[in-house]
Structure 1
Amino acid sequence: MSRADRRASLKQAYGELYAEVSRLVREADPIRLIAIGAPDDEYDVEVSTILPRLHEATSASDVHRIVYEEFVRWFDADIAGPPEIYVAVSEEIWNTCQRSAEAPNREAPGDHHGGVR
């Protein structure tokens, strides 16, 4: 499955939750890529690997761990920066998941090993 197909599948599977988490991460802009002119979908790959892992989360702290791990995975620790810059967006994602009937206890169809970029 191509990256674009995987993202389309996740958008369909998670619906509004995908859009909301993508918006939250984009607005947080933890690596400051949007601020320097990156496209609005710059963090969609990271969102595509964060969402399937949210079923692991039982707290905002768990979401923080997941979000930070995925940013380190895609950008490495030096570029991702310190974990503290992900606290606020992780709390917002957790609150969004708590309000959503769709998550966090969902995996994307066919995703049992984490996403691929």
Structure 2
Amino acid sequence: MTSLEALLFRHDPIGINFEHNSDEYRLEAETIALRLPEAATERDLERVIHEEFVRWFDADTAGPAGNYAQIAHEAWPLWLTYR
């Protein structure tokens, strides 16, 4: 989960990384982590991540699902190692 949180902070999909608030994506990372078993593919993981950002912020702030493709691409190997 810490790796996922760091990944979200680095990519900063909604623009809240102010360099000193590294825990800013902790809650989102936790809810994504709870849903990881739903992800059978990298594309599924992209969907899960996007859905959680829409849930936490709203559709306009989260933006389109494609904005989360790189995050899912980098998170997928972490999930494969974990499970």
TM-score by length of 1: 0.67
Show structure 2 runs of 5+ residues with no match. Answer: none
| C-alpha distance in structure 2 between counterparts of 1:82 and 1:38, whole Å | 27
Superposed counterparts of 1:1-117, under 5 Å: 18-34=1-17, 36=18, 39-100=21-82, 103=83
Pairwise CA distance, 1:99: 2.3
- Give the counterpart letter for 1:73 in structure 2: R
RMSD value, Cα: 1.3
- Using the aligned pairs only, state the percent identity: 39
- Structure (1 or 2) with the larger CA radius of gyration: 1
| C-alpha distance in structure 1 between counterparts of 2:20 and 2:59, whole Å | 20
TM-score by length of 2: 0.92
Going by fraction, where is helix more abundant, 1 or 2?
2
Pairwise CA distance, 1:74: 0.5
Structure 1 runs of 4+ off > 6 angstroms? none
Pairwise CA distance, 1:25: 0.8
Higher RCO structure (Cα 8 Å, ≥6 apart): 1
| C-alpha distance in structure 1 between counterparts of 2:38 and 2:74, whole Å | 17
Show structure 1 runs of 5+ residues with no match. Answer: 1-17, 104-117
Pairwise CA distance, 1:81: 1.2
- Give the counterpart letter for 2:62 in structure 1: A
